[in-house]
């Protein structure tokens, strides 16, 4: 042992410390998950402190088989004061018809539809919801992605987590119970690796905000320049949390994890989404280039096994197998805590799904590093280091201009139809050049 070069010992000590730290992360996630998740709040509204009104922004793009059901859960929530602000960018989007049917079905719910979006930046989700944000009338704004399904008391739970020190309450991403291996794989991903990082980050006050379902103090966002000031980033969620906490406000997760319930569930699109998120993280927090692969079960297990054999002469294979088995059991325990009820698949499916995730994850990460262009629905973007994004023009045969000319929006003009409650704001997507119309058509086909 003594004739081995000193740097090797340095690496071995570093890997053993990192391995130990990662097991602390497992432990924090399990304890904090058990303590925090699915806890019923006992704080009830009183006459002197009634529940605040909430403006809920729903960015929509295309229709999937579960969209109607998911949107309907927003019309039937147990919450006394809220408005629903549905936002659709394209006037030909089939989501418009669906929303109009729901507005007719629930006339007692305060709801509006905004069509046309705006052009306040590069982020298409921010562009889409900006008209809704400008019209929001309550002090709290919720941004909720199209695939989110609410329980009757989810909004109440989020509001009750918003203490006077907090300006941001977000739901930890998870999934509803759906059939098929892709759904199993998604649940395993969100209930294990993602929950582990999300819960420990929240417990330690580290920004890990994923903006699929979040409640914000509107005054704080306005103080930061409004939603438009986050339009230059693709990962608006990360930067909203960063700026809010820099002002001295706190953020935290709510007791209920977010139920993603998209009707389109397949492995390839899910992996594409994970690759897109990894590209965002790499550009925003470059240390993740090292941290993420290192904190993978198999990679870390192999490195720690090698270190243990070097430092303590322990058997490499036994160390690796015990490490992997403990990691697997810890993940099963965490998934059970997050699910808080019966797991909708067999233990054998968990083994397959877990192995599939563990083995494919390094490949997905390398894929993200290899090609930094970010495809989100029909658009493609690139990020500068730090996170500011720019859109790559859509190439199209016979439309050479689209390659060189950026999409030019017309000035925004807003009109409201009193009959339907539909607001049409002619911005990006309406009255624009060929490149945009082609882009729009393609976007509808893809979504």
Ligand X SMILES: O=c1ccn([C@@H]2O[C@H](COP(=O)(O)OP(=O)(O)O[C@H]3OC[C@@H](O)[C@H](O)[C@H]3O)[C@@H](O)[C@H]2O)c(=O)[nH]1
Ligand Y SMILES: CCCCCCCC/C=C\CCCCCCCC(=O)N[C@@H](CO)[C@H](O)/C=C/CCCCCCCCCCCCC
Q: Catalytic site residues?
A: 237
Listed in sequence order, the DSSP H helices in 285-339 are 288-294, 297-312, 316-339
Binding-site member from 33, 59, 121, 353 for ligand X (CB under 6 A): 59
- Measured from the CB atom, is 57 or 235 closer to ligand Y? 235
**Binding-site partner at residue 200 among ligand X, ligand Y, none, CB < 5 to 8 Å by type:** ligand Y
Residues 231-290 contacting ligand X, CB under 6 A: 234-237, 273
Residues 361-420 contacting ligand X, CB under 6 A: 376-377
Binding-site member from 67, 212, 335, 430 for ligand X (CB under 6 A): 212
Listed in sequence order, the DSSP H helices in 191-315 are 195-204, 218-223, 236-246, 267-284, 288-294, 297-312
Contact call for residues 273 and 59 (beta carbons, < 8 A): no
Site string for ligand Y, 241-280 (x = CB under 6 A): ------------------------------------x--x
Identify the bridge partners of residue 374 per DSSP, sorted by sequence position. 381
Contact call for residues 53 and 129 (beta carbons, < 8 A): no
**Binding-site partner at residue 194 among ligand Y, ligand X, none, CB < 5 to 8 Å by type:** ligand Y
Q: Shortest distance, CB of residue 149 to ligand X, whole angstroms?
A: 13
Cα dihedral sign for 230, 236, 237, 243?
Answer: negative
Q: Shortest distance, CB of residue 197 to ligand X, whole angstroms?
A: 15
435/438 Cα distance (integer angstroms)? 5
Site string for ligand Y, 54-93 (x = CB under 6 A): ----------------------------------------
Q: Shortest distance, CB of residue 328 to ligand Y, whole angstroms?
A: 18
Contact call for residues 64 and 264 (beta carbons, < 8 A): yes
Residues 111-170 contacting ligand X, CB under 6 A: 124-125, 128, 145-147
Binding-site member from 161, 210, 260, 361 for ligand Y (CB under 6 A): 210
Contact call for residues 349 and 287 (beta carbons, < 8 A): no
84/82 Cα distance (integer angstroms)? 7
Q: Which range touches ligand Y (CB under 6 A), out of 44-52, 194-202, 257-265, 376-384?
A: 194-202
- Measured from the CB atom, is 31 or 285 closer to ligand Y? 285
Token output for 93: 């989007």
Residues 14-43 contacting ligand Y, CB under 6 A: 18, 21-22, 25
Q: Closest Cα partner for 446 from 97, 65, 62?
A: 62
**Binding-site partner at residue 197 among ligand Y, ligand X, none, CB < 5 to 8 Å by type:** ligand Y
Q: Which range touches ligand Y (CB under 6 A), out of 37-45, 131-139, 281-289, 366-374?
A: 281-289
36/193 Cα distance (integer angstroms)? 18
Binding-site member from 61, 103, 208, 368 for ligand Y (CB under 6 A): 208
281 is an interface residue for ligand Y by CB under 6 A: yes
Q: Name, in order, each residue with C-beta under 8 angstroms of 335's C-beta and a sequence gap of 6 or more.
A: 187, 188, 191, 192, 195, 343, 350
- Measured from the CB atom, is 193 or 305 closer to ligand X? 193
352 is an interface residue for ligand Y by CB under 6 A: no
Q: Shortest distance, CB of residue 236 to ligand X, whole angstroms?
A: 5
Coil, strand, or helix at residue 84?
strand
Q: Closest Cα partner for 279 from 379, 384, 388, 369?
A: 369
311/313 Cα distance (integer angstroms)? 6
197/208 Cα distance (integer angstroms)? 8
Residue nearest to ligand Y (CB): 21
Q: Shortest distance, CB of residue 431 to ligand X, whole angstroms?
A: 19
Q: Closest Cα partner for 144 from 178, 173, 114?
A: 173
Binding-site member from 211, 257, 427, 429 for ligand X (CB under 6 A): 211
141/221 Cα distance (integer angstroms)? 9
Looking only at Cα atoms, what is the longest distance across the chain? 84
331 is an interface residue for ligand Y by CB under 6 A: no
Q: Shortest distance, CB of residue 270 to ligand X, whole angstroms?
A: 10
Cα dihedral sign for 63, 66, 69, 75?
Answer: negative
| Chain positions contacting ligand Y, by CB under 6 A | 18, 21-22, 25, 194, 197-198, 200-201, 204, 206, 208-211, 235, 237-238, 277, 280-281, 285, 288, 291-292, 295
């Amino acid at each position: 042992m003594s004739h081995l070069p000193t740097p090797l010992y340095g690496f071995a000590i570093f890997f053993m410390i990192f391995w130990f730290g990662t097991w602390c992360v497992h432990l924090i996630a399990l304890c904090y998950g058990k303590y925090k998740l699915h806890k019923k709040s006992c704080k009830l509204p009183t006459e002197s402190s009634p529940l605040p009104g909430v403006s809920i922004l729903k960015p929509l793009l295309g229709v999937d088989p579960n969209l109607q059901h998911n949107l309907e859960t927003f019309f039937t929530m147990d919450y006394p004061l809220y408005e629903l602000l549905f936002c659709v960018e394209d006037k030909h989007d089939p989501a418009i018809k669906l929303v109009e049917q729901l507005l007719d079905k629930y006339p007692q719910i305060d709801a509006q539809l905004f069509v046309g979006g705006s052009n306040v930046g590069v982020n298409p989700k921010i562009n889409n919801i900006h008209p809704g944000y400008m019209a929001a009338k309550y002090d709290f704004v919720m941004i909720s992605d199209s695939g989110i399904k609410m329980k009757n008391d989810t909004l109440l739970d989020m509001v009750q987590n918003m203490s006077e020190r907090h300006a941001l309450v977000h739901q930890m991403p998870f999934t509803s119970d759906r059939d098929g291996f892709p759904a199993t794989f998604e649940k395993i991903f969100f209930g294990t690796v993602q929950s582990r990082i999300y819960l420990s980050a929240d417990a330690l006050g580290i920004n890990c905000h994923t903006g699929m379902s979040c409640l914000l103090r509107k005054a704080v966002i306005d103080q930061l320049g409004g939603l438009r000031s986050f339009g230059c980033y693709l990962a608006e969620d990360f930067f909203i949390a960063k700026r809010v906490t820099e002002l001295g406000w706190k953020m935290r997760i709510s007791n209920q994890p977010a139920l993603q319930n998209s009707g389109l569930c397949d492995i390839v699109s899910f992996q594409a989404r994970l690759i897109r998120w990894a590209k965002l993280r790499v550009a925003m927090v470059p240390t993740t280039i090292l941290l993420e692969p290192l904190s993978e079960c198999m990679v870390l297990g192999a490195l720690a096994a090698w270190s243990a054999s070097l430092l303590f002469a322990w058997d490499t294979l036994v160390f690796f197998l015990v490490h992997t088995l403990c990691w697997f059991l810890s993940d099963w325990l965490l998934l059970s805590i997050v699910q808080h009820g019966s797991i909708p698949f067999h233990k054998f499916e968990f083994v397959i799904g877990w192995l599939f995730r563990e083995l494919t994850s390094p490949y997905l990460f390398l894929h993200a590093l290899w090609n930094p262009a970010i495809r989100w629905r029909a658009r493609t973007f690139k990020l500068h280091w730090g996170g500011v994004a720019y859109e790559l023009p859509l190439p199209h045969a016979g439309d050479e201009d689209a390659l060189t000319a950026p999409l030019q929006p017309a000035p925004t003009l807003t009109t409201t139809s009193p009959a339907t409650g539909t607001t049409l704001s002619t911005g990006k997507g309406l009255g624009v050049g060929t490149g945009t119309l082609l882009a729009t058509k393609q976007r509808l086909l893809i979504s």
